[in-house]
């Protein structure tokens, strides 16, 4: 009798180990199997003499990334952690803030450190600031030889803009930070055009506390925040005042159905956390702009078929914040080309032959300025993916 019981339990154990696979295959088309982790999942390793020692560890990583029902399990775990324990659970990249706000801890791409940006513990040294200065001047001189104007645009991190929702343990952000360091250093030691809309964003936020300009569950600013930031470019681009983007009060703002957000995805809550504010702005330009999306959304071309905009061609290159700025910048020009810094190639300057190059960088990627070289690349050459939710 004891032996039969043991066999029975063994059979149950085997069923628990084996059954999920055929059941998963049968239901695969009906359940969520997408990768919401904002990273590439591990590929199946190949056993060889070269990989003999690392194969067991690599195969374990592969299995963990491709477990049956993983997306559903991650989602269930996220719900319990977020709702019950106010925790980001298994995600090392997310901070759960006050009133359910989500913030980005970083360390996914290019050694980004938004947590340290917020605390002010990663300030640049004098030598690093000088390297940034030299790189920016070199870029300016290279472009000047081509007859191209160089404009630097720096967007603030969400953690800084909405610090009142950061966990109490973080305290208030100190005044000294990389954003202030780089902006002031370049303005004080060069004649470069440096645009930072931080003060204008803060002013709007304080005047309209009920209208968020960054997403609650995402790392990015929303369309309203992007519009306010882009308005600060107008003076720098030398546009006549009548061509500037109109004040927000003169623009039609429509709130639309909610979408999905990168930080919510990282904790498996993309279906539950959808009550964010998504705005669509209209009536800010009389120019009809045609938008061509290339490469799955990493590259854009904008064209004013009427040809009644500014004739100068613009090349906007930056991170995911620039993508959200694209249509607003383009609305005043006849032609604009936008590409992610990750895919920048020097030949693009010759092909596009822009009159203006706008280099956009969000606060958490300011370290990229230490490596910027328009002759070869923009930012570090080895990345593990960017937050595009980026």
Q: Is residue 11 part of a domain?
A: no
> For 62-86, how does the pLDDT look when each residue is reduced to its tens digit (9 = 90+)?
766 666 656 655 655 556 556 555 5
Question: 260 is in which domain, residue-wise?
Answer: 114-370
On whether the CB atoms of residues 285 and 330 are closer than 8 A, the answer is no
How wide is the angle at C-alpha 306 spanned by C-alphas 303 and 309, nearest 5°? Answer: 70
Q: Is residue 172 part of a domain?
A: yes
Mean pLDDT of 29-44: 64
Q: Is residue 54 part of a domain?
A: no
Strand 299-304 relative to strand 335-340, pairing: antiparallel
Q: What is the 3-state secondary structure (H, E, C) of the chain?
A: CHHHHHHHHHHHHHHHHHCHHHHHHHHCCCCCCCCCCCCCCCCCCCCCCCCCCCHHHHHHHHHHHCCCCHHHHHHHHHHHHHHHHCCCCCCCCEEECHHHCEEECCCCCCCCCHHHHHHCCCCCCHHHHHHHHHHHHHHHHHHHHCCCEEEEEEECCHHHHCHHHCCHHHCCCCCCCHHHHHHHHHHHHCCCEEECCHHHHHHHHHHCCCCCCECCCCCCECHHHHHHHHHCHHHHCCCCHHHCCCCHHHCEEEECCCCCCHHHHHCCCCCCCCCCCCEEEECCCCCCEEEEEECCCCEEEEEECCCCCECCCEEEEECHHHHHHHHHHHCCECEEEEEEHHHCCCHHHHHHCCCEEEEEEEHHHHHHHHCCECCCECCCCCCCCCCCCC
Dist. CA 240–CA 57, nearest whole Å = 61
| pLDDT at residue number 46 | 81
Report for 36-40, 341-345, 352-356: range of highest mean pLDDT:
352-356
Q: Would you say how long the chain is, in residues?
A: 390
Q: How far is CA 100 from CA 79, 88, 91, in A?
A: 12, 11, 16
- Token readout for 47 is 């056993």
Q: Is residue 207 part of a domain?
A: yes
Mean pLDDT of 377-389: 54
Number of structural domains the chain divides into: 1
Q: Is residue 7 part of a domain?
A: no
Dist. CA 172–CA 164, nearest whole Å = 8
Q: How far is CA 238 from CA 147, 234, 244, 310, in A?
A: 15, 7, 10, 10
Q: Is residue 82 part of a domain?
A: no
Rounded mean pLDDT of the chain?
86
Q: How confident is the model at residue 305 (pLDDT cuts 50, 70, 90)?
A: very high
Q: How far is CA 375 from CA 5, 119, 134, 295, 339, in A?
A: 73, 34, 14, 23, 16
Q: Is residue 122 part of a domain?
A: yes
| pLDDT at residue number 292 | 97
| pLDDT at residue number 248 | 96
**Of residues 147 and 21, which shows the higher confidence score?**
147
| pLDDT at residue number 230 | 97
User: Using CB atoms within 10 A of its CB, is residue 242 exposed (0-12), middle (13-18) or buried (19+)?
Assistant: exposed
On whether the CB atoms of residues 158 and 103 are closer than 8 A, the answer is yes
Q: Is residue 5 part of a domain?
A: no
Q: How confident is the model at residue 390 (pLDDT cuts 50, 70, 90)?
A: very low
């Amino acid at each position: 009798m004891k032996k039969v019981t043991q066999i029975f339990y063994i059979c149950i154990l085997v069923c628990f180990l084996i059954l999920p696979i055929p059941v998963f295959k049968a239901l695969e088309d009906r359940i969520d199997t997408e990768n919401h982790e904002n990273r590439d999942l591990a590929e199946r390793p190949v056993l060889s003499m070269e990989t003999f020692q690392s194969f067991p560890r690599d195969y374990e990583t592969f299995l963990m990334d491709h477990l049956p029902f993983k997306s559903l399990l991650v989602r269930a775990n996220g719900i319990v952690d977020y709702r019950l324990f106010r925790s980001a659970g298994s995600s090392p990249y997310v901070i759960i803030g006050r009133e359910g706000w989500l913030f980005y801890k970083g360390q996914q791409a290019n050694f980004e450190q938004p947590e340290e940006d917020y605390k002010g513990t990663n300030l640049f040294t004098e030598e690093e600031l000088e390297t940034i200065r030299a790189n920016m001047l070199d870029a300016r001189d290279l472009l000047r030889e081509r007859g191209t104007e160089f404009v630097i645009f720096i967007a603030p991190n969400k953690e800084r803009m909405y610090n009142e929702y950061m966990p109490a343990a973080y305290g208030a952000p100190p005044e000294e930070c990389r954003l202030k360091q780089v902006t002031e250093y370049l303005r004080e030691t060069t004649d470069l055009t440096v645009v930072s809309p931080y003060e204008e964003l803060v002013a709007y936020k304080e005047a309209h506390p009920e209208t968020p300009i960054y997403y609650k569950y995402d790392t990015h600013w929303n369309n309203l925040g992007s519009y306010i930031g882009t308005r600060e470019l107008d003076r720098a681009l030398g546009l006549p005042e009548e061509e500037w983007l109109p004040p927000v009060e003169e623009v039609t703002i429509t709130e639309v159905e909610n979408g999905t957000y990168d930080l919510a995805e990282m904790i498996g809550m993309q279906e539950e956390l959808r009550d964010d504010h998504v705005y669509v702005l209209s009536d800010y330009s009389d120019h009809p702009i045609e938008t061509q999306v290339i490469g799955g959304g990493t590259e854009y071309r904008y064209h004013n078929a009427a040809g009644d905009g500014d004739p100068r061609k613009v090349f906007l290159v930056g991170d995911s914040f620039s993508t959200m700025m694209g249509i607003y910048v383009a609305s005043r020009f006849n032609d604009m080309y936008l590409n992610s810094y990750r895919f920048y190639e020097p030949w693009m300057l010759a092909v596009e032959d822009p009159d203006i190059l706008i280099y956009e960088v969000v606060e958490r990627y300011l370290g990229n300025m230490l490596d910027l070289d328009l002759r070869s690349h923009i930012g570090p050459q080895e990345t593990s993916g960017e937050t595009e939710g980026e």
